Structure 1
Amino acid sequence: MFKHHGNKRNLRHNLKIASLLSFVAGLVNVAGFLAVQKLTTNVTGHFAFFVDEIFKLNFKQGFIYFLYIFFFFLGSFFSSLLVEFLLRRNEKYSYVIPTAIESIILFGIAVFGKHLIIQNPDFIAYSLLFAMGLQNSLVTKISNATVRTTHLTGLFTDLGIELSQLFFYHEDSFRKKLFVSIKLRITIISFFFIGGITGGIFYSNVGLRVLLIGVMALLLGLLYDRIRFNAFLLQRKYRRRIVQFKSK
């Protein structure tokens, strides 16, 4: 799911990571909005509010909106910097550490969010935007820009374009590629909605602790990858022994 990069990935890998991370993004989006009434998975709306506040000469509030944008950017920058560094040192940790950092951030907000809502609600928004910038950069880099999980505007645009192309392009090879892309986009959108619905249902009972569901999802994703990798190593070792036995 995580460990395959770029051209080594196939549709199955992308569907798995898209399902997991879009679910987490949908969960964070709704939980963050219900907690602090701010969008915490994308910055498009924040940029509009930032410009509006600047024109009103309300620079203090404008600076806060600027920080929302900046922390999403900072998360993306930090994630890419970390992945590039780890790829040169120890490739197997290139996705583990960024995902672990995201999990720690979500865990921290889940545990201390009740107090932060009263004392410093903007810190919640900054933290969640950083985490989502980190996630979006990580999955974009891993999938070679095939998968994006934190916002739906571009996904619905691309989905509309690709669905319209089905009426005009009838070559089997082209239609096969279209169906693959459509399937991936529908998966991302569906799991984003599922994550959002999950966040909305449980937030009314447990508040920001609903983010623990996202933490568990991320950790289970890492565990799944580790189990699969160990199984692959055992299988390869077994095959080598068979080859050695036959050669004797």
Structure 2
Amino acid sequence: MFRHIGKGRTFFHNLRLASLLSVVAGMVNITGVLAFQTLTTNLTGHFAFFAEELFLRSYTTALVYLLYVLCFLFGAFLSGLLMEKTSQFNPHAGYVAPVSLEIILLVSVGLLGSMKIGGTLLSSTSLACMLLLAMGLQNALVTKVSQSVVRTTHLTGLFTDLGIELSRLVLGSDIAGIKQKQLYKSIQLKLAIISCFFVGGILGGFCHRHIALSTLFIPAGLLLFTLWYDQILFRYYRIMRSIRKR
């Protein structure tokens, strides 16, 4: 899912990766909204609120929205940095560090959200910043691994690209053979991301009603599965090869 890079990646590698991590993003986003009234998978709204608070001269609140933006940016920066450094030693394991850090952040928010530190609950702003950092990590990771084919943490660009591609499909008389197949695959990929993000949001909302911030353990578990997936598949193929040789 992650190990294949560059020309080694296929449509199905990207489809599996996009579907799973879109569920993760959907669950994290709805959990952030319900628990902290904060969007954690995109920055457009935060920029709008930042401008509004500046206009209203509410500078403290404006700084909070600026902090959200910087946390997402730092997550993307850290993800790229970790992947570059790790890839120098093992090109096929560059994803391990950012995914592991994202898991740690999600589990930490799930634990700290209901834990009193120094007699008081950790502030919702701090926890929201941790979620934004996690989503910045994920978005940069998926973008880099898929060579900008997959983005899982915001839908605005996806709906824009989908609208353009659907218009090409409707007027597709000038699209031949291979290009038409590529167009179908691109539309299918975007629909999968949108659908899985929606499913993650519904599932996350339902779980939050019953287990609150412990909901974040579910996307953390899904990310843990992505770390194991390639190793499990690789071992399966090795076992099958050894059986065939006998």
Relative distance call for 1:236 and 1:91 in structure 2 (3 A) is farther
* Structure 1 stretches lacking a partner, 5+ long: 243-248
- Which shifted more, 226-235 or 47-56? 226-235
- Cα shift readout 1:59-79 (whole Å, capped 9, x = no counterpart): 111111100000000000000
- Secondary structure, in 3 states, of the residue corresponding to 1:89? coil
**Quick check: 1:148 aligned with 2:189?**
no
Q: Who is 1:168 aligned against?
A: 171
User: What amino acid is the match of 1:205?
Assistant: H
Query: Which runs of 5 or more structure 2 residues have no equivalent in the other structure?
Result: none
- Structure 1 residues 11-66: Cα deviation after superposition (integer angstroms, max 9, x where no partner): 11001100110000000000010000010111110011111111222211111110
Q: Which residue of 2 aligns with 1:87?
A: 87
Change beyond 3 A, Cα 1:48–1:193: same
Q: Select between 113-122 and 160-169 the one with higher mean Cα deviation.
A: 113-122
SS at match of 1:166: helix
In the alignment, the residues of structure 2 paired with residue 115 and residue 153 of structure 1 have an alpha-carbon distance, to the nearest angstrom, of 35
Give matches, 1:104-143, under 5 Å: 104-115=104-115, 118-143=121-146
CA 213–118 in structure 1, closer or farther in 2 if over 3 Å, else same: same
CA deviation vs aligned residue, 1:169-206 (integer Å, no higher than 9, x gap) = 23222211110000000000010011000001110110
What residue is the counterpart of 1:196 in the other structure?
201
Give the TM-score taking structure 1 as reference length: 0.92
Cα offset for 1:119?
3.5
Tell me the C-alpha RMSD between the 2 structures: 1.8
Work out the CA distance in 1 between the residues paired with 2:149 and 2:113. Answer: 33
The number of residues matched between the two structures is: 241
Question: 2 CA distance for matches of 1:148 and 1:94?
Answer: 18
- Tell me the secondary structure at the aligned position of residue 145 of structure 1: coil
Name the amino acid aligned to 1:209: S
Counterpart Cα distance in 2 of 1:147 and 1:14: 7
TM-score using structure 2 length: 0.93
8 Å Cα contact 2:113/2:122 also seen in 1: no
Q: Which amino acid aligns with 2:53?
A: E
Contact 2:4 2:92 in 1 (8 A): no
- SS of residue paired to 1:4: coil
Alignment identity in percent? 47
Matches of residues 174-213 of structure 1 in structure 2 within 5 Å?
174-213=179-218
